[in-house]
Structure 1
Amino acid sequence: MYTVFLNNKGRVLYDTLIYKWDRDDAFIIECDKNVLNSLQKHLKLYKLKRQINFADMSNELKVHAFISNVTEDAIESKNDIKIYKDPRLSDLGCRVISPAQTPEPDIAQVVGKDVEIKENEDGYKYLRYKLGVGEGADDLPPGTTFPLEVNCDYLHGVSFHKGCYIGQELTARVHHTGVVRKRIMPIKFTDTIKGELEKDSVISAPDNPKSNLGKLKGVVQDYGIGLLRIKEALDAKVLAVGKCTIEVVKPSWWPLEAPKDKQPLAKSE
């Protein structure tokens, strides 16, 4: 499952994938390696007197992103290599988890394809940016954004029917009564990137350089993601960041929402 941990102000601290592991009482939490220690400290705050143990498995397990469709939720195979469908989007493919010392041919054999295993994450990040999916502390700096702004509701990462959790009140209020004005969205660079673009560079309308429609969160080749004011960004169509011209893309996987004046009215008692 995909989920995020929030602070008491309802802002995202850590985005994670959680896997049911070998034993009934064991789970693997995948997170950005740069926030591993912080996440462990955060979890231990809520351990209280329960018999729960936390262990760093980063030296024992390795995670790969594999872009392909798998029919089963989890497939176990030899050498303890496991494949899980990414719970966020089918376009993100699968996660392959293996013991750290597993030879690359063994992983390729389990996957069932002729694959080339790369240590560089740029290809995976490029796919995420084209889709408009933020991941990790670089894209989602801890304590800066709300879960609905990072599309957690669209990516099956939040339940509005479960019990209480840290940051629930604000998250539920925004969902049921508020309006989400900003979201992480993909942006396409329409010309060659000129100069170095700094993270959190202001995105503006070309005819009004002082306008602030959002902030750049990351760039790979000709795609990036930004936290943008949805209506203003889509209405403007063409925007600018630094000396570059960009287009905002509304993700095809976003749900279609009926206009409020056409939504069915609830029956009165």
Structure 2
Amino acid sequence: MTPLAFTLLPDRALLAVGGEEAHHFLQNLISCDLESVDRDGAGFGALLTPQGKILFDFLIARDGERYLIDTPAETSADLLKRLTFYRLRAKVTLQALADWGVGVGALPGDTAEGLLSVTDPRLAALGQRHYGPLETLSALAAETDGPAAYEAHRIALGVPQGLSDFVWSDVFPHDADMDQLNGVSFRKGCYVGQEVVSRMQHRSTARKRMIRVSADAPLPARGTPVLAGDRSIGEMGSSSRTEGLALVRLDKARAALDAGETITVEGVSVRLALPDWATFGWPEGAESE
């Protein structure tokens, strides 16, 4: 696979969490294990509702004595406000890094000085993410279509992303494949929403999953129903021309496929496939509602 050219992601923003209790504060709050973040340099996680649904999902990187949270720019202020709500009397500093940005792809030449570079913790094939001053990152980003190329790359790999593929507060981490992409720890202690997520894991009750969708025509917008006949079995997430993602009830999809039914999205016939990295499969006993 040809490495992606370096590009700045203008739709991402950074928050910094520092202070002597930063590790403890985050470890008791978010879904990933901060011990792994400290060891590997980066992680993928979420802040959940008490009912176990995704309130925010993000990447997190260790930067010296602080942590950087890589999150959608449009909701970064909301995440900062929520973290502030949970801080209480903890010895933690919370800050929006307005003059820092997020880049992805192969750096041009030997230009890493002053940047924090990590392998994407969700899937190594997504490549490197780079954090640093916006001025530095902007000077390195030469391709104007870079963000679109990166989105196409992410979608082709079948990796879902909050706001792009699903609405926050509507889905559980398992629905968004976070358990498959290193986004949930089942070994660390309690965090917000942990009991529900652990129950889904141990009882294997996840029925909806983000999977790959492809067609011979451009795919429609996020939220468009995925149909088996006239029955909805899911809805579209993001897409790049003829490749996309969809949140689908696996049992209903399997039943439709076994029955030879055509799966469509807004009248376009589509093919469904599990991501190559997925350890879950099609259910054995599929429903046929």
Is residue 231 from structure 1 mapped to residue 257 from structure 2 by the alignment?
Answer: no
Instruction: Please give the per-residue CA displacement for 1:212-232, whole angstroms capped at 9, x wherever unaligned.
Output: 110112221111111001233
Higher strand proportion = 2
> CA separation in 2, counterparts of 1:20 and 1:98?
13
Q: Give the AA of the match of 1:46.
A: Y
Provide runs of 4+ in structure 1 moved above 4 Å: none
> CA separation in 2, counterparts of 1:216 and 1:36?
24
In the TM superposition, residue 77 of structure 1 has moved relative to its aligned partner by 4.0
| 2:217 paired residue among 161, 178, 192 | 192
TM-score, structure 1 length as denominator? 0.80
Q: Which residue of 2 aligns with 1:249?
A: 273
In the TM superposition, residue 38 of structure 1 has moved relative to its aligned partner by 1.0
In the TM superposition, residue 64 of structure 1 has moved relative to its aligned partner by 1.2
Instruction: Please give the per-residue CA displacement for 1:84-116, whole angstroms capped at 9, x wherever unaligned.
Output: 0001111101102221111656x48xxxxxxx5
Q: Which residue of 2 aligns with 1:264?
A: none
Q: Give the AA of the match of 1:143.
A: S
Q: Give the AA of the match of 1:44.
A: T
Contact map agreement 1:14 1:136 (CA 8 A) in 2: yes
Q: Give the AA of the match of 1:36.
A: S
Is residue 101 from structure 1 mapped to residue 135 from structure 2 by the alignment?
Answer: yes
Is residue 65 from structure 1 mapped to residue 110 from structure 2 by the alignment?
Answer: no
Contact map agreement 2:101 2:137 (CA 8 A) in 1: no
> CA separation in 2, counterparts of 1:46 and 1:104?
34
> CA separation in 2, counterparts of 1:241 and 1:192?
11
Instruction: Please give the per-residue CA displacement for 1:14-37, whole angstroms capped at 9, x wherever unaligned.
Output: 111111113x2x111000111111
Is residue 5 from structure 1 mapped to residue 44 from structure 2 by the alignment?
Answer: no
> CA separation in 2, counterparts of 1:256 and 1:199?
24
What does 1:81-160 correspond to in 2, within 5 Å?
Answer: 81-102=115-136, 107=140, 116-118=142-144, 120-160=146-186
Q: Which residue of 2 aligns with 1:32?
A: 72
Contact map agreement 2:162 2:168 (CA 8 A) in 1: no
Contact map agreement 2:100 2:132 (CA 8 A) in 1: yes
> CA separation in 2, counterparts of 1:220 and 1:229?
22
* Unaligned stretches of 5+ residues in structure 1: 69-74, 109-115, 261-269
Q: Give the AA of the match of 1:177.
A: R
> CA separation in 2, counterparts of 1:166 and 1:33?
23
Contact map agreement 2:52 2:196 (CA 8 A) in 1: yes
- Secondary structure at the aligned position of 2:213 is classed as strand
Instruction: Please give the per-residue CA displacement for 1:106-133, whole angstroms capped at 9, x wherever unaligned.
Output: x48xxxxxxx544652211112212221
Higher RCO (CA 8 Å, separation ≥ 6 residues)? 2
TM-score, structure 2 length as denominator? 0.75
Q: Give the AA of the match of 2:63.
A: W
- Secondary structure at the aligned position of 1:136 is classed as coil
Aligned residues with identical type, % of pairs:
26
Q: Which residue of 2 aligns with 1:267?
A: none
In the TM superposition, residue 55 of structure 1 has moved relative to its aligned partner by 1.0
Q: Give the AA of the match of 2:91.
A: Q
* Higher-Rg member (1/2): 1
- Secondary structure at the aligned position of 2:180 is classed as coil
Paired residues, what number? Answer: 236
Contact map agreement 1:10 1:168 (CA 8 A) in 2: yes
